[in-house]
Amino acid sequence: MTIKVANEKTVTTEITVDKKWFRADGTEFHPQDGEISYNLIQVLTTEGGESSEKIYKSGETLTSQDGWQKTYSNLPAADINGNGEKEICTYYVKEILIADYSTSYSNGSVGESEDPSAAALSSGTITVKNTEKMKFILPETGGTGRGILYIAGVFLLGISMILLGNKNSSFYECLHKKG
């Protein structure tokens, strides 16, 4: 009995995840602390066009200590599925949501998208962009407050007391006229 074993070199690829931070006004900044978490997702596509995806690496992190960048080497570029069909591997990342930031993804050949799978690629760099959400500053309520109304009321009360208290005024005569 003869068994043939085909030795095929495993083809690998490399994916880099690059994190960018932007303020609400669009200026880029580089946080000196904190971390983000994401999943590296592998998409397997057969020559027939059928695709499936799975989380290839879960709970990955990026920090300022690693320059907000991580490279994955020796990732499979192709695979053979259970039916013996060749599958091409592409990858994308999906960040765990960060409060007060919106997230978009790009890979250099497609524009930014909020859909992480739109940035899937077989090799290269995936950029994850976080933009600070606009914070609304509410105006103070009450303005000058009731103080001005109290002052105006005291002023009017004072004038009326003067007018009513002055017996020589025509206002006093008008009020006490017997007719």
CB 69 within 8 A of CB 17: yes
pLDDT average, residue stretch 153-164: 80
Average pLDDT, the chain: 87
Non-local CB neighbours of 172 within 8 Å, separated by 6+ positions: 163, 164, 166
Q: What is the pLDDT of residues 65-74, one digit of tens each?
A: 999 999 999 9
pLDDT in tens, 21-49: 999 999 999 999 989 999 999 999 998 89
pLDDT of residue 140: 65
Is pLDDT at 118 greater than 80 in this prediction? yes
Q: What is the pTM of this model?
A: 0.70
Helical residues (DSSP H) of the chain, grouped into ranges: 147-165, 170-175
Phi, psi of 67 (to 5 degrees): 70, 20
